[in-house]
DNA sequence: ATTGGGCGTTGAAAGGTTTCAACTACGGAT
DNA sequence: ATCCGTAGTTGAAACCTTTCAACGCCCAAT
C-alpha cells in the first residue's frame, strides 16, 4: 500500500542544475563557445550567438557563481560589516555604498555585527571565505591585526566611520571632535550648566571623541559640569534606561541638558522624560547625534548633529574601489564635517 | 631609470591564497587528511590534528568557499529580498530571520529591491547564481513564474508578508484585511466621516487588502466616505506629498482622518500637517500601520496597527528551513494577527 | 601462523566555469 | 596555385575542496 502510494506520486526528477556542458551539447558547440556567448558575445558569430542563447533559455541555464569565482580567484562582491542594521544611520550609509557599487555592478553583502565582537569575527571569516573583493567595516573589537592579515592576503579594506590604523587603511569618518564641540557649545550657549553625556560603551572611538570634545567645552566654560553616563549599547532602550537613572537624581544633581551619543539614544531619552512628565526643553534639553530622519519627526523634534550619511557611504565605496583597482595605492583619510541642526528640543 | 626605480621597490609577492594542497605539503600529509581536520576532526589522530592545525594557522590558510560550494552544489546561505531596507519594519523582520538562521549557522544575505522590479530581478539572478539554499522574498513584480522555475531547480522559496501563489509556496503574512478593518473601524468609532487612505502603489497586495477592508468598513457605516490617495512609494516623502495634496482640498472635501498604509507614510503625513498648522488629531486624525518603534516616539505619537515583525521573521525562517530539509513538504500558510495600538494621533 | 576488523590515512575523481594556445576555413593577396 | 591573416571555434587545463573506495598497519581472535 505504502509502495503503491509512493509509486503513484509524480516522480520528482532530481533537480540537477544545467551546466555549460549541457548547453554546449544541446547546442552542438563547445563549452568554450558557450562561455564566449556569456562573456564575449562580440567574439561569436551572430547566428551562433542567437542559437546558443536560445538553448540557454530553453534549458533554463543559470551560471554557477561558485565555479566562476573559483576560477576567478575572487568574487566581485563587497562585504560590509555594520554596527547595527536597525539604526537608520547605518542603513543610510549602506545605501550610499550600495548606490556607488551598483554602478559598477558589484553587489553589496551586508552583515550586522550588532556591536558584538564574536559576531564581527564570524562575519569576517565568512567574508574571507567568500573571497570578497573588498571589505568595509566599522570595527568593534580589536580587529586591527586581523584586518592586516586580510589585507595581506589581497583583500581591499576600508574603515568606515572611524579612523583606526591610520597608517595602514584608508578611511572615511566624520569629525567627531567637531561634532561633540558643536553640540556641547550649543547647550552651553542656550544656558545649560549641568550636562549629561549619554552613550557607550566607552571603548567606542566615536563615543570617546564626542565625549572628549564635550568635556573640553565644559571645562572651558565657567560653571558648567559634565557627567558621563555610560551605556552598553546605542539604541533607544539604552537611552530610556539612562534617562530613568538620571531622573533618580534630585534637584541640584539632576542635569538640565542631555547630550546623547546618537539619535536613537536621544529618542529613548525623550520618551522616558516625557513619560516622567519632565518638560523638554524647559527642564531638560536634548541634543542627539546623526540627524536620522526620525529625529526631525520626534515628539519634540530633536536638535542633532547631522552627519553626511549617504555621502559617507559613497566616499567609502570610492575609496574601496580605488584600493581594489590598485592595492598599492597610498592610504587616504577623508574626514567629513558634521553640522548642527537646531530644533525644539533645545530651543530656549 | 624607470627600471631601477621599479627594481628598488619592494617586490610585492603576489598574494596568492594558501590552499589545502599547500597545507598538506607543509604538514607532510595528504589533502584528504587536511580536509578531515577541517570537517571531521574526530576521524583524525589527535597528534596529526594538532600538527595540521598548527600549520594551518602558521600559513594563514582560509577555506575557499567557492570551491566548497562548487563541490557541495549549494551554499548554506539564505537570500532575502526586502522591499525597503530603510523601513525599520523590514529590518525588524530581517532581524527575526537572522536570529533563527544564525542558530543553524546559516548566513543571511540581504538585498534591497527598493520596490523596483528591475532590481528585484537582478537580485534574484544573483541569488540563483550563488545557489543559495533558500530564498525569502516579498515580491514586487510579477515574479511568480520566475519563482516557480527557481523552486523547480531546487531552491526553497518562502513568501514573506504576502500570500501569493498560495498553492505553491509557503508563506507568512499578517492578516491585512483584519488590520485594515481595525484601523478603519477605529476611525469610524472616534467619529470620523471622511477618511483618506494613503498608500501605494495600488498593485501591492498589502495596499489592496488594507484598502479593501477599510472600504468595507466605510460602506457599512452610514455617512462615512473613503477616498484613496495613491502613492508611488511607501516612504515618508510620499506621505508628505500626499498630505500636501489633501490640504489643497477645501472644507467639506477635506478628510478628517488619514489612514496611512504604513508608518513611514504616516510620519510624513504628520510632518506635512504639522507644518501646515493642521491640528492632529483635532482637525485630522492619523492611523499608521506596522507600529515601528518610531511611531510611538513621533511628534504626536501615532496610532498604528502593530504587526509581529520579528515573529514574522522567525516564522519565515522556520518555514524555509522546513522546505530546505524536505522540499516535498506540504505548503503551509501562517497568518499572524495584527493588533491596534491607540495613541494620541486619534485620541478624541 | 593466519585471518578479520578497525583505525588512520591516502589519492584520485568530481564539480562548473573561464582562459588560452591551437586549429580550421575562408577570402584576399601574391 | 600558394601563402597569409583573420575570424570563429575548439578542448584541455586550472581553480580548490570534498568524498570515498582502497590501502596499510596493527591488534585480537581463531
* Lowest-confidence region among A113-117, A125-129, B3-7, B229-233: B3-7
Nucleotide nearest to A22 (CA to C1'): C16
DSSP A309: H
> Which residues are CB-neighbours of B327 under 8 A, at least 6 positions away?
B154, B156
Closest residue to D14 measured CA to C1′: A71
Please determine, for residue A51, whether its predicted confidence score (pLDDT) is greater than 70.
yes
B20/C19 CA-to-C1' distance in Å = 23
The span from the CA of A24 to the CA of A35, in Å, is: 9
Q: Which of B262, B284, B139, B251 is nearest to B207 (CA)?
A: B262
pLDDT number for residue A206: 86
Please determine, for residue A208, whether its predicted confidence score (pLDDT) is greater than 80.
yes
**Strand pairing class (A339-341; A303-306):** antiparallel
What ranges make up the beta strands (E) of B191-321? 194-199, 225-230, 257-260, 285-290, 303-306
| Chain A residues within an 8 Å CB radius of B293 | 236
What ranges make up the beta strands (E) of A153-236? 156-160, 170-174, 194-199, 225-230
The span from the CA of B281 to the CA of B346, in Å, is: 5
| Sign of the CA dihedral with A275 first, then A276, A279, and A284 last | negative
pLDDT number for residue A232: 94
Helix (H) or strand (E) holding A26: helix A20-27
What pLDDT digit, counting tens, does each position of B308-346 carry? 999 999 999 999 999 998 888 899 999 999 999 999 999
What pLDDT digit, counting tens, does each position of A187-207 carry? 999 999 999 999 989 988 889
pLDDT number for residue A1: 29
Q: Are A284 and A230 in contact (CB under 8 A)?
A: no
pLDDT number for residue A5: 30
Find the CB nearest A129 among B15, B65, B95.
Answer: B65
What pLDDT digit, counting tens, does each position of A23-46 carry? 999 999 999 999 999 999 999 999
What pLDDT digit, counting tens, does each position of B135-153 carry? 999 998 889 999 999 998 8
What pLDDT digit, counting tens, does each position of A257-306 carry? 999 999 999 999 998 998 898 999 999 999 999 999 889 888 889 999 99
Backbone angles phi, psi at B340, to 5 degrees: -85, 130
DSSP A18: P
Find the CB nearest A270 among B69, B88, B297.
Answer: B297
CA atoms within 13 A of residue B49's CA, in its CB half-sphere? 11
Confidence of residue B348 (pLDDT cuts 50, 70, 90): low
**Residue-wise DSSP of A241-262:** HHHHHHHHS-TTTS-SEEEESS
Find the CB nearest B70 among A66, A294, A297.
Answer: A66
Bases of strand D lying below 7 A from some protein CB: 7-21
Closest residue to D16 measured CA to C1′: B67
Nucleotide nearest to A49 (CA to C1'): D8
B327: distance to nearest CA of chain A, Å?
A: 10
pLDDT number for residue B167: 87
Rg of chain A over Cα atoms, rounded to whole angstroms, equals 27
Q: Which of B174, B204, B131 is nearest to B183 (CA)?
A: B174
Nucleotide nearest to A62 (CA to C1'): C16
The span from the CA of A336 to the CA of A179, in Å, is: 11
Give the mean model confidence (pLDDT) for residues B47-75: 94
Q: Are B258 and B246 in contact (CB under 8 A)?
A: yes
A129: distance to nearest CA of chain B, Å?
A: 5
Please determine, for residue A3, whether its predicted confidence score (pLDDT) is greater than 50.
no
Question: Could you give the 3-state DSSP secondary structure of residue A110?
Answer: strand
What pLDDT digit, counting tens, does each position of B113-127 carry? 888 899 899 889 989
The span from the CA of B331 to the CA of B170, in Å, is: 5
What is the percent of chain B where pLDDT is above 70?
95
Find the CB nearest A66 among B15, B66, B153.
Answer: B66
Q: Are A128 and A152 in contact (CB under 8 A)?
A: no
pLDDT number for residue A114: 83
The span from the CA of A42 to the CA of B330, in Å, is: 47
What is the percent of chain A where pLDDT is above 70?
95
Given an 8 Å threshold on Cβ–Cβ distance, is A70 in contact with B70? yes
Q: Are A201 and A178 in contact (CB under 8 A)?
A: no
Please determine, for residue A7, whether its predicted confidence score (pLDDT) is greater than 50.
no
Q: Is the CB of A252 under 7 A from strand C?
A: no
The span from the CA of A29 to the CA of B335, in Å, is: 50
Please determine, for residue B1, whether its predicted confidence score (pLDDT) is greater than 70.
no
DSSP B249: S
Confidence of residue A348 (pLDDT cuts 50, 70, 90): low
pLDDT number for residue A241: 95
3-state secondary structure A36-65: HHHHCHHHCCHHHHHHHHHHHHHHCCCCCH
**Going from the N-terminus, what domains does chain A have, and what CATH number goes with each?**
12-63 (1.10.260.40), 75-174+309-336 (3.40.50.2300), 176-307+340-346 (3.40.50.2300)
Distances (CA, A) of B317 to A84, B155, B225, B322, B334: 20, 14, 41, 9, 12
Give the mean model confidence (pLDDT) for residues B205-217: 94
Q: Is the CB of B20 under 7 A from strand D?
A: yes
Given an 8 Å threshold on Cβ–Cβ distance, is A153 in contact with B296? no
pLDDT number for residue A15: 52
| Chain B residues within an 8 Å CB radius of A294 | 267, 294, 297
The span from the CA of A205 to the CA of A277, in Å, is: 34
The span from the CA of B153 to the CA of B108, in Å, is: 20
Q: Is the CB of A73 under 7 A from strand D?
A: yes
The span from the CA of A157 to the CA of A155, in Å, is: 6
The span from the CA of A187 to the CA of B111, in Å, is: 41
What pLDDT digit, counting tens, does each position of A112-165 carry? 888 889 989 989 998 999 999 999 999 988 899 999 999 988 899 999 998 877
Amino acid at each position: 500500500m505504502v509502495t503503491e502510494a509512493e509509486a503513484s506520486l509524480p516522480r520528482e526528477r532530481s533537480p540537477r542544475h544545467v551546466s555549460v556542458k549541457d548547453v554546449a551539447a544541446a547546442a552542438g558547440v563547445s563549452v568554450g563557445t558557450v562561455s564566449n556567448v556569456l562573456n564575449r558575445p562580440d567574439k561569436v558569430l551572430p547566428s551562433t550567438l542567437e542559437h546558443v542563447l536560445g538553448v540557454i533559455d530553453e534549458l533554463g541555464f543559470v551560471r554557477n557563481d561558485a565555479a566562476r569565482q573559483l576560477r576567478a580567484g575572487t568574487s566581485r562582491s563587497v562585504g560590509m560589516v555594520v554596527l547595527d542594521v536597525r539604526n537608520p544611520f547605518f542603513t543610510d550609509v549602506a545605501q550610499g555604498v550600495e548606490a556607488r557599487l551598483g554602478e559598477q555592478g558589484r553587489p553589496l553583502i551586508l552583515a550586522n555585527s550588532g556591536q558584538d565582537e564574536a559576531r564581527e569575527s564570524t562575519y569576517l571569516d565568512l567574508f574571507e571565505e567568500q573571497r570578497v573583493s573588498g571589505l568595509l567595516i566599522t570595527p568593534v573589537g580589536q580587529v586591527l591585526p586581523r584586518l592586516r592579515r586580510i589585507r595581506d592576503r589581497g583583500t581591499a579594506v576600508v574603515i568606515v566611520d572611524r579612523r583606526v590604523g591610520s597608517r595602514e587603511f584608508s578611511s572615511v569618518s566624520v569629525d567627531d571632535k567637531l561634532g561633540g564641540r558643536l553640540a556641547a557649545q550649543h547647550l552651553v550657549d542656550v544656558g545649560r550648566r549641568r550636562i549629561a553625556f549619554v552613550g557607550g560603551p566607552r571603548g567606542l572611538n566615536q563615543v570617546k571623541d564626542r565625549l572628549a570634545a564635550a568635556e573640553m567645552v565644559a571645562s572651558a566654560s565657567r560653571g558648567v559640569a559634565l557627567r558621563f553616563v555610560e551605556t552598553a549599547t546605542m539604541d533607544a532602550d539604552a537611552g530610556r534606561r539612562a534617562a530613568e537613572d538620571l531622573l533618580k537624581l534630585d534637584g541640584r544633581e539632576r542635569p538640565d541638558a542631555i547630550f546623547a551619543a546618537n539619535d536613537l539614544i536621544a529618542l529613548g531619552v525623550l520618551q522616558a522624560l516625557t513619560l516622567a512628565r519632565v518638560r523638554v526643553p524647559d527642564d531638560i534639553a536634548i541634543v542627539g547625534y546623526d540627524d536620522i530622519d526620525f529625529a526631525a519627526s520626534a515628539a519634540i523634534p530633536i536638535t542633532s548633529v547631522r552627519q553626511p550619511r549617504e555621502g559617507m557611504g559613497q566616499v567609502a565605496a570610492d575609496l574601496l574601489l580605488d584600493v581594489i583597482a590598485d592595492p598599492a595605492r597610498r592610504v587616504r583619510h577623508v574626514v567629513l564635517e558634521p553640522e548642527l541642526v537646531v530644533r525644539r528640543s533645545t530651543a530656549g
